[in-house]
């Protein structure tokens, strides 16, 4: 008998696996494939429990499928561009590359110490030019396809990070990275036109049945599809007479068009300045513009905020009834949604209602609930009634139209009969059309930072902005930039000054780099063919290995990374680079790891690192514990005692130690500490043990397939308990040797994906099996032998369990029923038995009255 010594075992096997390249994907075409992937980490240098959990889940999945005979691709890499490297560089006077590569080295060693089964030959480092050059290549392909645009528009600016941000990277008005309130700026920037895929990104969520509904819902909300119409209002001149010019609005409620009593423009709308220039209205309008400009994103995103407005002195004509509506400017109208102009219907929209009350603008009822007393009064009224409203709120539910000309009496509301009819009428006159709008904005990908992938574009005075020719890739990020002293790419003449690739005259390079999220939007494709020097990847290889079968990562990427990656795949498909629609088949979003109920963060100084638990109990114990404590998608609270220990962890170590001894005993070794056998029915225990083994193999197999690792481990514990009960009533000579041997090999294999070092040592050394447990065949359950000869069934009387009976598994229902009646005789005596339901193998339900 050997003591279970995790440290000696783990370091030994890790060295062997490393040396043998044990987890290399051999691209064996004869096997079915599984691509198991965990979101690659940012190399911050330290591993925390969130990493441990995420990568342990993925590793268990990968190891399970290897044993099931799949060709498994399970790679790991580093999302290595980004701001923390620059900040660290400034702080420590290092180059960002130095800091990054040193961190990668440390973190890779930590990962190896956990025994994760990665194909390290396929490692991708996002800041390696062999990788980022292909990010530039994809940029050029997208550009060719018309999916890249450089334009001036209002953007989010993070003053702390000194760069612009994409919409998705602003969380509640704050920078996703540093938490600073972002500012609005009007800048010329580079965009990926993700909005062209808005509809497909929304529709294809239905093709992802294996994604959590939560994530799909979040993406659907983010894309934010609204069906409605555009309506053209005619602009009037200073004298109030109609001109030829129209101002278009977007609305989801065309049915309320008769209720429009004023008209709104966003402060940034191009028309505003023209309308008020030199008029007496200019000053008050400018004030509103000023307020809008200076509001921070945090202020703008607050719920009940004050709305500011000013009259422009001008009017538009409502195309449906010829009403003249005053044009106001207000900061609650957004420039970059719809057309930046809005028809205001205070009776049907709460914001318009409040604005009307504040500024004394008229309110005209158009849609009412059928029983509203106003309905009666308004029926047959010819003159339009305005302001006869004493409600507290606008009425935005479904109802019936009043005061709406020929449409009066129709059903109104979102997507209503009246909406369709009014829009049709406008369309006939060429003054309106059905339109679908999305909340999703184009992806702003340029960043005013050094440590990122250079955008391959050149600014030429004569030719404009031109792409770097494909053969000139990569545009290498120069390494001699002194970030710590504030140098930027523009300060490096050898980078900045280049001849124009079109005309050959002096030009200069684009100095913005790409958003790091562009690096993570396609890395999962590169793993399939990481050493390709001609292309980002070989198309046949990608088409064979993708989509990723199991993708595992944090919920914080529900929108960001997961939406961008979906867009990339669709855009690359349209560029002819691959042939599928969605990158990730099955998505598991693991829950957060907290410490005593609190989120871990560096600033709080409560980040739990795996080093201490590993030093105490080894990696296998930590892995098994993390998987056992909670189902993967739920949050996991790491409870720490005052001395830093964790009780559950010790319990898991005891379990591995106990099963280690169990396996050795089953294999025929004598346990000097074994208790003296006690009396018991040995044959019955043997039969029950064999049955239990098959039952547990079946359950554990199903649990791995559905990633219920906690119940998989629990099932092995049940098997261990049953085994122990058998060993307790037998001496070595009394045992069924063949069953014991089989059981030993089964227990080892069932736990191998979770505790790989423990299993490898038992498998190859203790049990003396040929070959690694990694490639050992997964045990197969014999469903017949998992069945018991006799079953215990519950007997219910009127839904309450009153007795238990033991019946033969093969017993006929009639037989079972009469046994059941006998067992509950005292409960049904003198009663009228109305019905008896027999659920074979489960229970008998007797209904009496």
Interface with RNA in residues 447-476 (CB under 7 A): none
218 binds RNA (CB under 7 A): yes
From residue 539 to residue 578, the character string flagging contacts with RNA as x (rule: CB under 7 A) and all else as - is: ----------------x--xx-------------------
251 binds RNA (CB under 7 A): yes
513 binds RNA (CB under 7 A): no
- Whichever of 767 and 847 has its CB closer to RNA, that residue is 847
- Whichever of 602 and 800 has its CB closer to RNA, that residue is 800
Provide, rounded to whole angstroms, the least separation between the CB of residue 228 and RNA.
6
> Can you tell me the distance from the alpha carbon of 722 to that of 718, in angstroms, rounded to the nearest whole number?
6
Interaction residues for RNA, span 740-769 (CB under 7 A): none
Question: Cβ atoms within 10 A of the Cβ of 413, count?
Answer: 19
Q: Collapsing DSSP states into helix, strand and coil, what is residue 752?
A: coil
> Can you tell me the distance from the alpha carbon of 403 to that of 674, in angstroms, rounded to the nearest whole number?
92
Interaction residues for RNA, span 290-329 (CB under 7 A): 300-301, 303, 305, 307
431 binds RNA (CB under 7 A): no
224 binds RNA (CB under 7 A): yes
User: E strands within 39-139?
Assistant: 71-73, 77-78, 124-125
Q: In this structure, are strands 341-344 and 324-330 parallel, antiparallel, or unpaired?
A: unpaired
CA distance to 454, 500, 799, per residue, from 495 (Å): 11, 13, 81
> Can you tell me the distance from the alpha carbon of 188 to that of 191, in angstroms, rounded to the nearest whole number?
10
| Cα of 74 vs its chain's centroid, Å | 20
263 binds RNA (CB under 7 A): no
**Sole binder of RNA in the list 159, 209, 635, 668 (CB under 7 A):** 635
**Sole binder of RNA in the list 166, 223, 288, 629 (CB under 7 A):** 629
98 binds RNA (CB under 7 A): no
**Sole binder of RNA in the list 793, 807, 816, 820 (CB under 7 A):** 793
Q: Please report how many Cα atoms fall inside a 13 Å half-sphere around the Cα of residue 207, on the Cβ side.
A: 13
708 binds RNA (CB under 7 A): yes
Interaction residues for RNA, span 334-393 (CB under 7 A): 334, 337-338, 340, 342-343, 345, 349, 351
Sign of CA dihedral 242, 248, 252, 254: positive
- Whichever of 145 and 439 has its CB closer to RNA, that residue is 439
250 binds RNA (CB under 7 A): yes
3-state DSSP helix/strand/coil percent for the chain, to nearest 5? 40, 20, 40
Provide, rounded to whole angstroms, the least separation between the CB of residue 710 and RNA.
5
Contact between 497 and 544 under an 8 Å Cβ cutoff? The reply is no
Question: Cβ atoms within 10 A of the Cβ of 809, count?
Answer: 11
228 binds RNA (CB under 7 A): yes
**Sole binder of RNA in the list 15, 436, 479, 651 (CB under 7 A):** 651
**Which of the stretches 95-103, 275-283, 314-322, 719-727 binds RNA when contact is defined by CB under 7 A?**
719-727
> Can you tell me the distance from the alpha carbon of 408 to that of 259, in angstroms, rounded to the nearest whole number?
12
207 binds RNA (CB under 7 A): no
Provide, rounded to whole angstroms, the least separation between the CB of residue 513 and RNA.
25
Question: Cβ atoms within 10 A of the Cβ of 741, count?
Answer: 14
**Sole binder of RNA in the list 209, 464, 644, 648 (CB under 7 A):** 648
184 binds RNA (CB under 7 A): no
- Whichever of 542 and 793 has its CB closer to RNA, that residue is 793
**Sole binder of RNA in the list 129, 459, 769, 802 (CB under 7 A):** 802
Interaction residues for RNA, span 160-179 (CB under 7 A): 171-172
Phi, psi of 768 (to 5 degrees): 65, 30
- Whichever of 85 and 712 has its CB closer to RNA, that residue is 712
Provide, rounded to whole angstroms, the least separation between the CB of residue 256 and RNA.
8
> Can you tell me the distance from the alpha carbon of 75 to that of 188, in angstroms, rounded to the nearest whole number?
38
> Can you tell me the distance from the alpha carbon of 5 to that of 296, in angstroms, rounded to the nearest whole number?
59
**Sole binder of RNA in the list 206, 673, 679, 832 (CB under 7 A):** 673
> Can you tell me the distance from the alpha carbon of 345 to that of 356, in angstroms, rounded to the nearest whole number?
9
> Can you tell me the distance from the alpha carbon of 309 to that of 346, in angstroms, rounded to the nearest whole number?
15
679 binds RNA (CB under 7 A): no
How would you label 660-683 residue by residue, b for 16+ Cβ within 10 Å and e otherwise? bbbbbbbbeeeeeeeeeeeeeebe
Q: Is 558 exposed, middle or buried (0-12, 13-18, 19+ CB in 10 A)?
A: buried
**Which of the stretches 193-201, 486-494, 773-781, 835-843 binds RNA when contact is defined by CB under 7 A?**
835-843
Question: Cβ atoms within 10 A of the Cβ of 198, count?
Answer: 21
685 binds RNA (CB under 7 A): no
847 binds RNA (CB under 7 A): yes
The enclosing H or E element of 837 equals strand 833-839
Phi, psi of 674 (to 5 degrees): -65, 140
253 binds RNA (CB under 7 A): yes
Nearest 5°: the CA angle 412, 413, 418 is 40
Provide, rounded to whole angstroms, the least separation between the CB of residue 502 and RNA.
39
> Can you tell me the distance from the alpha carbon of 248 to that of 254, in angstroms, rounded to the nearest whole number?
13
> Can you tell me the distance from the alpha carbon of 263 to that of 352, in angstroms, rounded to the nearest whole number?
10
β partners of residue 401? 367
691 binds RNA (CB under 7 A): no
205 binds RNA (CB under 7 A): no
> Can you tell me the distance from the alpha carbon of 53 to that of 624, in angstroms, rounded to the nearest whole number?
10
Q: Pull the structure tokens for residue 518.
A: 């562009």
Q: How many residues bind RNA (CB under 7 A)?
A: 85
150 binds RNA (CB under 7 A): no
434 binds RNA (CB under 7 A): no
Provide, rounded to whole angstroms, the least separation between the CB of residue 37 and RNA.
23
729 binds RNA (CB under 7 A): no
- Whichever of 213 and 321 has its CB closer to RNA, that residue is 213
**Sole binder of RNA in the list 278, 376, 672, 675 (CB under 7 A):** 675
- Whichever of 66 and 308 has its CB closer to RNA, that residue is 308
199 binds RNA (CB under 7 A): no
Provide, rounded to whole angstroms, the least separation between the CB of residue 174 and RNA.
10
Provide, rounded to whole angstroms, the least separation between the CB of residue 801 and RNA.
5
- Whichever of 20 and 721 has its CB closer to RNA, that residue is 721
Provide, rounded to whole angstroms, the least separation between the CB of residue 556 and RNA.
8
User: Which residues, at least 6 apart from 659, have a Cβ–Cβ distance to it below 8 Å?
Assistant: 716, 720, 747, 751
């Amino acid at each position: 008998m050997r003591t279970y010594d995790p440290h000696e075992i783990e370091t030994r096997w890790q060295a062997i696996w490393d040396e043998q390249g044990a987890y290399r994907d051999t691209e064996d075409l004869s096997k079915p494939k599984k691509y198991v992937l965990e979101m690659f980490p940012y190399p911050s240098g330290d591993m925390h429990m969130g990493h441990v959990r995420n990568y342990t889940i993925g590793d268990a999945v990968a190891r399970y499928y290897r044993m099931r005979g799949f060709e498994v691709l399970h790679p790991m890499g580093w999302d290595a561009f980004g701001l923390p490297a620059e900040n660290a560089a400034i702080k420590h006077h290092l180059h960002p590359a130095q800091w990054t590569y040193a961190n990668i080295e440390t973190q890779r060693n930590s990962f190896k110490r956990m025994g994760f089964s990665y194909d390290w030959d396929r490692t991708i480092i996002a800041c390696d030019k062999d990788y980022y050059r292909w990010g530039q290549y994809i940029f050029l392909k997208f550009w060719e396809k018309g999916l890249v645009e450089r334009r001036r528009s209002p953007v989010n600016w993070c003053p702390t990070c000194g760069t612009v941000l994409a919409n998705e990277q602003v969380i509640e008005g704050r920078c996703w990275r540093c938490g600073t309130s972002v500012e609005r700026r009007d800048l010329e920037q580079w965009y990926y036109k993700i909005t062209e895929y808005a509809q497909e990104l929304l529709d294809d969520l239905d093709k992802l049945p294996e994604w959590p509904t939560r994530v799909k819902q979040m993406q659907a909300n983010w894309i934010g599809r609204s069906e409605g119409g555009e309506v053209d209002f005619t602009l009037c001149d200073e004298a109030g007479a109609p001109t030829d010019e129209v101002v278009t609005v977007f609305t989801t409620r065309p049915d309320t068009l008769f209720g429009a009593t004023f008209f709104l423009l966003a402060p940034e709308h191009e028309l505003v300045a023209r309308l008020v220039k030199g008029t007496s209205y200019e000053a008050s309008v400018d004030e509103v513009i000023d307020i809008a400009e200076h509001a921070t994103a945090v202020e703008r995103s607050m719920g009940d905020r004050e709305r500011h407005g000013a009259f422009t002195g001008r009017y538009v004509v409502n195309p449906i009834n010829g009403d003249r509506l005053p044009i106001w400017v207000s900061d609650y109208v957004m420039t970059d949604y719809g057309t930046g102009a809005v028809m205001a219907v205070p009776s049907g929209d709460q914001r318009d209602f409040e604005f009307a009350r504040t500024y004394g603008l008229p309110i005209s009822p158009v849609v009412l609930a059928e029983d509203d007393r106003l309905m009666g009064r308004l029926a047959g009224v010819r003159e339009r009634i305005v302001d006869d409203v004493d409600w507290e709120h606008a009425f935005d539910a479904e109802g019936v139209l009043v005061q709406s000309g020929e449409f009066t009496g129709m059903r109104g509301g979102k997507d209503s009969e009246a909406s369709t009819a009014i829009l049709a009428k406008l369309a006939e006159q060429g003054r309106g059309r059905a339109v679908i709008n999305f909340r999703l904005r184009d992806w702003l990908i340029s960043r005013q930072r050094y440590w990122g992938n250079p955008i391959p574009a050149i600014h030429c005075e004569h030719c404009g902005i031109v792409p770097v020719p494909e053969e000139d890739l990569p545009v290498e990020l120069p390494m001699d930039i002194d970030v710590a002293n504030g140098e930027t790419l523009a300060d490096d003449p050898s980078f900045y000054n280049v001849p124009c690739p079109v005309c050959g005259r002096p030009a200069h390079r684009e100095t913005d780099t790409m958003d790091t999220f562009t690096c993570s939007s396609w890395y999962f494709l590169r793993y399939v063919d990481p050493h390709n020097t001609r292309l980002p990847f070989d198309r046949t290889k990608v088409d064979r290995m993708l989509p990723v079968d199991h993708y595992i990562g944090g919920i914080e990427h529900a929108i960001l990374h997961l939406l961008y990656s979906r867009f990339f795949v669709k855009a690359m498909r349209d560029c002819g680079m691959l042939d599928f629609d969605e990158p990730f088949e099955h998505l598991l979003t693991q829950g957060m790891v907290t410490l005593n109920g609190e989120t871990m963060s560096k600033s709080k100084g409560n980040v739990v690192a795996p080093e201490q638990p590993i030093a105490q109990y080894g990696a296998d114990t930590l892995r098994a514990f993390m998987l056992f404590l909670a189902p993967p998608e739920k949050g996991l609270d790491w409870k720490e005692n005052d001395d830093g220990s964790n009780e559950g962890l010790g319990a898991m170590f005891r379990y591995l130690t106990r099963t280690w001894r169990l396996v050795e005993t089953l294999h025929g070794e004598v346990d000097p500490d074994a208790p003296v056998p006690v009396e018991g029915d040995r044959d019955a225990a043997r039969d029950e043990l064999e049955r239990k083994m098959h039952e547990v193999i079946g359950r554990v197999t199903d649990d791995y397939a559905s990633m219920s690792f906690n119940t998989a481990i629990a099932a092995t514990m049940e098997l261990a308990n049953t085994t122990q009960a058998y060993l307790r009533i037998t001496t070595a000579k009394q045992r069924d040797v063949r069953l014991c041997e089989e059981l030993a090999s089964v227990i080892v294999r069932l736990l191998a994906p979770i505790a790989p070092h423990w299993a490898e040592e038992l498998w190859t050394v203790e049990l003396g099996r040929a070959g690694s447990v990694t490639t050992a065949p997964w045990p197969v359950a014999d469903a017949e032998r998992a069945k018991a000869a006799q079953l215990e069934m519950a007997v219910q009387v009127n839904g309450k369990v009153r007795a238990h009976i033991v019946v033969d598994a093969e017993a006929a229902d009639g037989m079972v029923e009469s046994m059941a009646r006998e067992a509950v005789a005292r409960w049904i005596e003198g009663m009228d038995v109305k019905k008896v339901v027999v659920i074979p193998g489960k229970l008998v339900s007797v209904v009496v009255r």
